[in-house]
Amino acid sequence: MANIAFIGLGNMGGPMAANLVKAGHKVTGFDLVEASREAAKAKGVSIVHHAADAVKTAEIVITMLPAGKHVLSVWKEVMPVVGKNTLMIDCSTIDVESARHAHGQAALAKLPSVDAPVSGGTGGATNATLTFMCGGEEAAFAAAKPILEAMGKKIVHCGGAGAGQAAKICNNMILGISMIAVCEGFTLGEKLGLSHQALFDVASTSSGQCWSLTTYCPVPGPVPTSPANNEYKPGFAAALMLKDLRLAQEAAKSSGATTPLGGHAESIYEAFEKEGHGGTDFSGIIHYLRMMAKT
């Protein structure tokens, strides 16, 4: 069993660290927020008061932080303190450029590193059923895999440095666009007098079929487990979808890709957030479309 430092014990990091403890690892954690530190402590994580103190004896360092700037600053802070050959893993969702920069920092210090963003939300983090999308050298991935398996059920090696982040934002751009497309289908159906169930029964077995429709249906009824049946509580909050769509647009700009629908999806989620709905599940974008139709 390994000695693991876990930095960033929020909604995702807290339960992920708890699952590492459950798997028998010795986990030392740090977060800026006291409530997060206390919650992790209750789950068996040893708490310290500085990131550098968490990593001193760690064989593996995991970060789960809000954005690229936090990851780069924490990695910079701990890098001089970590032991030789410590494996650096970042599970946050961040921009590809920062992920590559973090790998570069690790390489300069001769440390193996993996970018390993996740999909599966807080439910997946709690139940250890996350999907990890990994980027980094083969040997670093092989070392990270058994650790990630304690927190997830599918671990995919997507390629070299930053490939995990690249896969994550491409996937979530598809998701953001497809959710809006499904919502548009339902709002048009409503205007045409079609019942939600009738449209679902046809589209879910026809060429309109997709995850946003069959697993996460944005109207109450057809898929009882979708957030639409729970007052659009997240789930996956619209603010997080907007974050990922922004990352995708940044990556499209810097790489020269053409992603007009991704850009349009970003502006629609931006307007939804400005209306105060950042905390609503991202499938709640259907309300925004209905509201636009009335004006």
Considering only residues 17, 31, 39, 269, which one is a binding residue for ligand NAD as defined by CB under 6 A?
Answer: 31
CB 58 within 8 A of CB 4: yes
Q: Distance between CA 41 and CA 14 in Å, rounded?
A: 9
- Minimum gap (Å) between residue 243 Cβ and ligand NAD: 6
Considering only residues 200, 236, 269, 272, which one is a binding residue for ligand NAD as defined by CB under 6 A?
Answer: 236
CB 68 within 8 A of CB 125: no
Q: Minimal CB distance to ligand NAD: which residue?
A: 10
Nearer Cβ to ligand NAD (3/122): 122
66 binds ligand NAD (CB under 6 A): yes
180 binds ligand NAD (CB under 6 A): no
Q: Distance from CA of residue 216 to its chain's centroid? A: 17
Q: Distance between CA 81 and CA 196 in Å, rounded?
A: 57
Nearest to 183 by CA among 277, 295, 287: 287
Q: Distance between CA 86 and CA 108 in Å, rounded?
A: 13
Both tokens of residue 292?
Answer: 């636009």
168 as an active site residue: the answer is yes
* DSSP state letter for 92: S
Structure-derived torsion over alpha carbons of residues 19, 98, 121, 244, reported in degrees to the nearest 10: 180
- Spot the catalytic one: 168, 243, 253, 294: 168
Q: Distance between CA 116 and CA 165 in Å, rounded?
A: 7
Using the contact rule CB under 6 A, the part of the chain among 114-122, 135-143, 220-228, 258-266 near ligand NAD is 114-122
Considering only residues 4, 5, 10, 286, which one is a binding residue for ligand NAD as defined by CB under 6 A?
Answer: 10
20 binds ligand NAD (CB under 6 A): no
Using the contact rule CB under 6 A, the part of the chain among 2-10, 104-112, 184-192, 217-225 near ligand NAD is 2-10
Other CB atoms within 10 A of residue 48 CB: 17
Bond before 262 cis per omega within 30 degrees: no
Q: Distance from CA of residue 92 to its chain's centroid? A: 7
- Minimum gap (Å) between residue 31 Cβ and ligand NAD: 4
Other CB atoms within 10 A of residue 275 CB: 13
Considering only residues 4, 5, 6, 13, which one is a binding residue for ligand NAD as defined by CB under 6 A?
Answer: 13
Query: Which H helix or E strand runs over 23?
Result: none
Residue type, 36: S
229 binds ligand NAD (CB under 6 A): no
Q: Three-state SS for 235?
A: coil
Using the contact rule CB under 6 A, the part of the chain among 29-37, 134-142, 251-259, 274-282 near ligand NAD is 29-37
Q: Which of residues 38-57 bind ligand NAD (CB under 6 A)?
A: 51
131 binds ligand NAD (CB under 6 A): no
Give the chain's radius of gyration (CA, Å). 20
- Minimum gap (Å) between residue 137 Cβ and ligand NAD: 23
Q: Which of residues 80-109 bind ligand NAD (CB under 6 A)?
A: 92-93
- Minimum gap (Å) between residue 51 Cβ and ligand NAD: 6
- Minimum gap (Å) between residue 144 Cβ and ligand NAD: 17
Nearer Cβ to ligand NAD (32/107): 32
Annotated active-site positions, please?
A: 168
Site for ligand NAD, rule CB under 6 A: 7-13, 30-33, 36, 51, 64-66, 70, 74, 92-93, 118, 121-122, 236, 240, 243
